[in-house]
Structure 1
């Protein structure tokens, strides 16, 4: 039998009300199978109501242009110091080669992020290097959507060059950046960040930079790194901050808004030993990720319509199951993925379009290719 408090909260969500943080927390803390089943069904219903039955995907390529990084996040197996084994820094020809390959494979998006490399400068300017990254791609392939540079990278450029966040974001927009990844969010709680990523920007700075992007008309995504040392209270607080950020963008009439929420469960197999030992496992717990996926839909769905799992972290089977727990998008092809795969993820580094389509069709749901901003690409559609 469903708990009466859970039932009441779910009824409010189905009537269109935003949940309070305390209501969201109560849902996250459920362990009874009947209550969890009711949460799943509610999230799935709201998904259908808010985003429809069609499951979308994007043909994209990740280009992580360097793994040289000044920071030492406790979860990261990707970063390297200069001269260390496994270090790399792509040159312009390598970037164009990867982009050309992506275009041949029908990509509509390049996602560009990398380590914080202090030597990545042109004439002593960090911003000039990042602009060159953008222009290298855009001059050759202007039709591609460039989804580039996390809030952490924006802060890094601004710090190195003595610029404001507005100046950096506007210059990158002018060069051809079309949207900003909402990565480096991890958990938007400074107590967690002091352990997880002590050298990274704090929660307020992340929110400020994303909010600045919205003011300037630049769309962003949003993420949460879950399942490590954070508490359910901190998870809900993170969701509440994202919801508030989106409400501000909408209420202020900004053309830049959050386009999607992506849950990124922690993979610790190859993560630095101290955090791996503290967390006590190497791979995500699927049941925990699915419950959080459902609660995120219920908590955010009125404001952030599109929800996406990570097939890299959960595997394609886990990501497909997440489509029954509130997700309406299965993500992208990626073509290459280094950051999570180097942490020991099981999902692989590249996904063929046919595999994504088959996974979606297994749920008797229609699929459709989209672009980064969730506009349909008419080449690949299946009707239910």
Structure 2
């Protein structure tokens, strides 16, 4: 090895160590710092990054791993959009298309309640026919009202920014109008899905019909202003670059900083990386990515960097056991995550894309995975109140 090459490696090691030391002192790291961490390939440096993320997790949220007992309900797969990573959507009237009735949804909710669920997570395709009296909002409000009237104890974590935009566009309403109506009906928080990657050059390839990055941010911030908590996500491991991943994290950080500075009543409660699963995704993107399942090592390094970069602002980080499998998600708990998500009971969107992690876990399975790490576990509410 030349003296110049050796000097460059030593310089990189020194720089990474300084970044990690600053993070452990509670300082924010820059996007350039985060990118440098994310592109490391040395096993020794990656292990230092992991250890730093795990220490920060301990400092910021402690050692207890949380989970929620919930049921996921995808109420329709009929959708007007054609995202290049989605194997879930169908056109109305085609094989495999479904649209659950309110009675079917209530039956699923009743089953969840019988299993001690505290949350229903509900999202679906953008179905132009989902209307009552010619209005989309009326359909959504009546669906929420039916669930909350029957099961007032359930927290409804429902309808992403994309669904809010869809309802507003269908009915000629503002985003605030839609959010307030859903809140009044009983929605308790908004999933931060449909974010994919908050970079419009990427979105124009993978989801050209979806809302822009700016619109996603506007709807999330509007929810915070109106008192509706949200989550946040990143669809990772497809055509996006490491710099675009870090830019996405920076956008989330800015949203959270703005909510804090503006003294909004609510903000982002958690961050979840959603690794790309391409086994059954439409062929063009699957061919371009060149693999069917997530690369665990890449996901774990991104998990650690996200904790180091975001943890001062979004303290709760959760892996996706549906996409990574329970063993992969358990490993992520040593890379900066502090929550193992929910029981779900059923899940269709990722399963139909070809994920191998399953669609349902029991409380015993979640607790067992956490116990394998010699960590305590606690059941939580959707908003991270310990139960």
TM range (shorter): over 0.9
The equivalent residue for 1:302 is 312
SS of match in other structure, 1:217: coil
User: In structure 2, how many angstroms separate the alpha carbons of the residues matched to 1:317 and 1:196?
Assistant: 29
Q: Does residue 51 of structure 2 align to residue 55 of structure 1? A: no
Alignment of 1:49-128 (within 5 A): 49-128=59-138
The equivalent residue for 2:38 is 28
The equivalent residue for 2:3 is none
Q: Does residue 348 of structure 2 align to residue 338 of structure 1? A: yes
Unmatched runs of 5 consecutive residues or more in structure 1: 378-384
Q: Does residue 257 of structure 2 align to residue 247 of structure 1? A: yes
User: In structure 2, how many angstroms separate the alpha carbons of the residues matched to 1:31 and 1:125?
Assistant: 53
Q: Give the structure-2-normalised TM-score.
A: 0.97
User: In structure 2, how many angstroms separate the alpha carbons of the residues matched to 1:74 and 1:300?
Assistant: 28
User: In structure 1, how many angstroms separate the alpha carbons of the residues matched to 2:313 and 2:348?
Assistant: 31
Q: Which of 352, 355, 360 is equivalent to 2:370?
A: 360
User: In structure 2, how many angstroms separate the alpha carbons of the residues matched to 1:12 and 1:195?
Assistant: 37
Unmatched runs of 5 consecutive residues or more in structure 2: 1-9
User: In structure 2, how many angstroms separate the alpha carbons of the residues matched to 1:346 and 1:61?
Assistant: 19
The equivalent residue for 2:195 is 185
The equivalent residue for 1:42 is 52
SS of match in other structure, 1:320: helix
The equivalent residue for 1:11 is 21
User: In structure 2, how many angstroms separate the alpha carbons of the residues matched to 1:7 and 1:59?
Assistant: 39
User: In structure 2, how many angstroms separate the alpha carbons of the residues matched to 1:174 and 1:137?
Assistant: 13
The equivalent residue for 1:208 is 218
SS of match in other structure, 2:56: helix
The equivalent residue for 2:288 is 278
CA RMSD of aligned residues (A): 0.7
Q: Report the CA distance between 1:17 and its aligned residue.
A: 1.1
Q: Which of 260, 264, 267 is equivalent to 2:270?
A: 260
Q: Report the CA distance between 1:222 and its aligned residue.
A: 0.2
The equivalent residue for 2:383 is 373
SS of match in other structure, 1:240: helix
The equivalent residue for 2:147 is 137
Q: Report the CA distance between 1:251 and its aligned residue.
A: 1.2
SS of match in other structure, 2:150: coil
Deviation string for 1:278-337 (max 9, x for gaps)? Answer: 000000000000000000000000000000000000000000000000000000000000
Q: How many residues align?
A: 377
User: In structure 2, how many angstroms separate the alpha carbons of the residues matched to 1:34 and 1:224?
Assistant: 26
User: In structure 2, how many angstroms separate the alpha carbons of the residues matched to 1:255 and 1:19?
Assistant: 26
User: In structure 2, how many angstroms separate the alpha carbons of the residues matched to 1:343 and 1:164?
Assistant: 33
4+ residue segments displaced more than 2 Å = none
The equivalent residue for 1:380 is none
User: In structure 1, how many angstroms separate the alpha carbons of the residues matched to 2:231 and 2:361?
Assistant: 21
Q: Report the CA distance between 1:83 and its aligned residue.
A: 1.3
Q: Report the CA distance between 1:183 and its aligned residue.
A: 0.2
User: In structure 2, how many angstroms separate the alpha carbons of the residues matched to 1:136 and 1:342?
Assistant: 28
User: In structure 2, how many angstroms separate the alpha carbons of the residues matched to 1:132 and 1:349?
Assistant: 27
Alignment of 1:167-182 (within 5 A): 167-182=177-192
Q: Give the structure-1-normalised TM-score.
A: 0.98
Q: Report the CA distance between 1:268 and its aligned residue.
A: 0.3
Q: Report the CA distance between 1:136 and its aligned residue.
A: 1.3
The equivalent residue for 1:230 is 240
Q: Report the CA distance between 1:95 and its aligned residue.
A: 0.5
User: In structure 1, how many angstroms separate the alpha carbons of the residues matched to 2:83 and 2:332?
Assistant: 28
Q: Report the CA distance between 1:256 and its aligned residue.
A: 1.3
Q: Which of 146, 152, 161 is equivalent to 2:171?
A: 161
The equivalent residue for 1:220 is 230
User: In structure 1, how many angstroms separate the alpha carbons of the residues matched to 2:245 and 2:116?
Assistant: 36
